[in-house]
Amino acid sequence: MTMVSFGDLAQSYLMKAQTSRLKGETGRITQELASGRLSDVAKSLSGDLGRLSALTRSQDLASGYVTAAQEGAFRASALQRTLGVLSESAQSLAPDLLSATLNGGSAALSLLASRGADRFDAALSALNTSVAGRNLFSGTAVGSTAVAPANTILTALRAEIVGATTPDEVFTRISAWFDAPAGFQTLAYGGGPPVTDLAVSPDDTAWLGVTANDPAVREALKGFAAAALINDPGVSLVPSDMRVFARLAGESLIGGNDALIALSARVGMSEQRIDTALSRNAAEKLTLEMATAELVQSDPFILATELEAVQTNLETLFAVTARLSRLSLTDFMR
């Protein structure tokens, strides 16, 4: 019978190869146990990565919509806060302007003008709110200031009402300046067109196209600006006409407040759509993550069995190696 044996050098190489292989297996199993993910997904799926690629793409898409919806919710909330500030300011000032017809003395008119100027300045500051470095009411021109300072606008209005002698005429000119493209939109509004609807899911969008040039915003600004000009030297009105002018400013604020409430309600509808889409996208993302995990996650019970087998083989190999290393000619001839 012919026997095949290995020389010492070949046997040494064989032992080293076996040791290296078993150590590599130990490292792989340990890594998969720690991460919970297969190290060779392609081998596990027999090279068919189509389903995994589709799941990964869908998961990335869902993640993108979740991010878009979160940013939209944040923007909508900021819009609502600013619209709320304008609305509350209009509600608090309008009644006093309307009552000026009955008890509007010089001191009261002066106080109303001062309050109107303060509210006008505060309204413009609110409209220039920026979120994460993006101007909220500037439409697509997020890097531009939404509206000019109060002094700039009031100076333009003083030039516009020169020669007007009645309260109605003065207010009509102020109103026309805010509505005319060559007036507020050109001289005071620094933003761009409204932003397009935000895609918050594959099938749904949300409207957040509020700008400082919105008719509802301009209507409120008319009232604030008119109140600031009640007793302005550029307004050539006698005290009785100033009281009438204050009433017109108050009526404009009431109309503006109604328009702001309607605008806020529209933004609120968008908030609801965003919240619904956010919940749906988050659920879809979780489902996709679970489906992906089923394809790539490792089985700890199988790995534990494999690790025990590899450790047993290593211990056996080390024992054989140690025994061979102690062999001598005397031991061999026994």
**47 belongs to a structural domain:** no
Per DSSP, helices labelled H in the chain are 8-35, 41-44, 50-103, 106-127, 150-160, 167-179, 184-187, 215-228, 239-296, 300-325, 329-333
The per-residue pLDDT for range 264-304, each reduced to its tens digit, is: 999 999 999 999 888 887 777 777 666 666 555 544 555 45
Range of the domain at 106: 52-289
- pLDDT of 40 reads 47
Q: Is residue 268 part of a domain?
A: yes
In a domain, 240, yes or no: yes
- CATH of residue 119's domain is 1.20.1330.10
Between CA 92 and CA 257 the distance in angstroms is 11
Angle at 56 between CA 297 and CA 279, to 5 degrees: 100
**Residue 13 domain-assigned (yes or no):** no
Whether 100 is in a domain gets the answer: yes
> pLDDT (tens digit, 9 = 90+) per residue, 149-191?
999 999 999 999 988 889 999 999 999 999 999 999 999 999 9
- Number of domains into which the chain is organized: 1
Residue 76 lies in a domain: yes
**Residue 112: CB atoms within 10 Å:** 25
pLDDT of residue 332: 47
Residue 254 confidence (pLDDT): 94
In percent, the amount of the chain with pLDDT more than 70 equals: 68
Q: Which residue has the higher pLDDT, 323 or 180?
A: 180
C-alpha dist (Å) from residue 330 to 6, 103, 326, 333, 334: 20, 127, 11, 5, 6
Please indicate, yes or no, if residue 231 is contained in any of the structural domains. Answer: yes
Mean pLDDT check: name the lowest of 76-90, 104-118, 263-277.
104-118
